[in-house]
Amino acid sequence: MELEKYVEGRVRSVIDKHEIKGKIAVALSGGKDSAVCFYILDKFGLEVVPFHINLGIEGYSKECYEKSLALCKKLGYELEVVEGMKVNSCSMCGTVKRYIMNKFAYERGCDYLATGHNLSDLITFAFNNLASVNILNFRGMKPLLEGKPEYKMVAKIRPLYYLKDEECRAYANIKRIPYAEGKCPLARQAPTVKIKEWLHELEREKPGILLNFLKSFSKIEDKMRKEGKPNICKVCGYPAYHDVCKFCKLKSRKKN
Ligand code: AMP
Ligand code: ZN
């Protein structure tokens, strides 16, 4: 009971602080985090539109779809499935997912796109970017990323922003939320997997350190708020940081 209240309270604080209302597209990966995210937003009585992207990853995508579907059935929703581009690496997958998630939410006229990114994910992402001096990626380390309608960019919300991996997993288990246990075969080699293990070890030794990291990392962004304005992709008209968006570049590379 304690944990349930804690988890829901953390989500509540994000929703209330940012006054989230209206239609929310919820990206279901089949994993525990987005499942918990969806479950709690529904529990709060918010208007949610669940969807899943089929990434065609052998030995993985099928289970993800089935678990997403099972959760939607349990909560009385239809699941929309969007066919993604067939991906063969982790970084490619990230580009494809981000693109399709935004496009889906935009086309459905949603006010927000909600993802299952949690505290552990965000800090792992931050360390990984730090290691490769990807400073611009420190934009977007907040629970809410405002939308820019003129760029067809939907606002993004991360309801699990203050929650660690194990808290999300425990919540999913208590509530008997169906989720895929497997790890993506493409991600097994990714450095982020190791970084995350290391961060969790550190957190066990120094409880609270992840939250402190998050506080510091999210300040980097404020310092460069004014820079890095997005463009519109010349090919598809969705947001891009260059003339042509990363997704369209991938697509044309695949054709050639
Ligand atoms: P990941 O990039 O796998 O860490 O996932 C981060 C978030 O993106 C998840 O919590 C989901 O909200 C969303 N997501 C990941 N994969 C999918 C997918 N195949 N379909 C829909 N949403 C996804
Ligand atoms: Zn494009």
Question: Which residue spans within the chain are E strands per DSSP?
Answer: 23-27, 47-54, 80-83, 112-114, 144-145, 155-157, 231-232, 239-240
Could you tell me the pLDDT band of residue 225, with boundaries at 50, 70 and 90? low
pLDDT surpasses 90 at 66: yes
- CA–centroid distance, 107 to ligand 2, in Å, is 15
User: pLDDT of 241-250, one tens digit each?
Assistant: 889 999 999 9
- CA–centroid distance, 147 to ligand 2, in Å, is 17
pLDDT surpasses 70 at 75: yes
Our mutation pick for probing the ligand 1 site, out of 24, 29, 156, 160, counting the most ligand atoms within 8 A of Cβ, is 29
pLDDT surpasses 60 at 226: no
Whole-prediction pTM: 0.88
pLDDT surpasses 70 at 78: yes
Q: What is the rounded distance in angstroms from the CA atom of residue 52 to the CA atom of residue 43? A: 20
Q: Which residue has the higher pLDDT, 91 or 80?
A: 80
Which range among 105-114, 166-175, 213-222 shows the weakest confidence by mean pLDDT?
213-222
Could you tell me the pLDDT band of residue 147, with boundaries at 50, 70 and 90? very high
- pLDDT at res. 2: 94
Q: What is the rounded distance in angstroms from the CA atom of residue 24 to the CA atom of residue 109? A: 9
The H or E element spanning position 76 is none
- pLDDT at res. 254: 78
Report DSSP letters for 80-144, one per residue. EEEE-----SHHHHHHHHHHHHHHHHHHTT-SEEE----HHHHHHHHHHHHHTT-GGGGTT-SSE
Q: Is 235 helix (H, G, I), strand (E, B) or coil?
A: coil
- pLDDT at res. 131: 81
Query: Using a 6 Å cutoff on CB, does residue 28 contact ligand 1?
Result: yes
Burial of 221 (0-12, 13-18, 19+ CB in 10 A): middle
pLDDT surpasses 70 at 227: no
User: pLDDT of 152-191, one tens digit each?
Assistant: 999 999 999 999 999 999 999 999 999 999 888 888 777 8
* Smallest-distance ligand from the CA of 68: 1
Question: In this structure, what token pair is assigned to residue 66?
Answer: 């089935």
Instruction: Give the nearest ligand 1 atom to 53 CA.
Output: 20
Q: What percent of the chain has pLDDT over 90?
A: 73
Could you tell me the pLDDT band of residue 90, with boundaries at 50, 70 and 90? confident
Which range in 105-109, 135-139, 241-245 is most confidently predicted, on average pLDDT? 105-109
Could you tell me the CA-to-CA distances from 49 to 81, 101, 128, 136, 160 in Å, in that order? 11, 12, 31, 30, 17
Our mutation pick for probing the ligand 1 site, out of 83, 102, 115, counting the most ligand atoms within 8 A of Cβ, is 115
* Smallest-distance ligand from the CA of 25: 1
User: pLDDT of 32-59, one tens digit each?
Assistant: 999 999 999 999 999 999 999 999 998 8
- pLDDT at res. 139: 76
- CA–centroid distance, 33 to ligand 1, in Å, is 9
pLDDT surpasses 80 at 88: yes
pLDDT surpasses 70 at 199: yes
Residue minimizing CA distance to atom 12 of ligand 1:
115
* Smallest-distance ligand from the CA of 116: 1
Could you tell me the pLDDT band of residue 130, with boundaries at 50, 70 and 90? confident
- CA–centroid distance, 22 to ligand 2, in Å, is 27
- pLDDT at res. 141: 86
- CA–centroid distance, 116 to ligand 1, in Å, is 7
Averaged confidence pLDDT in the chain: 92
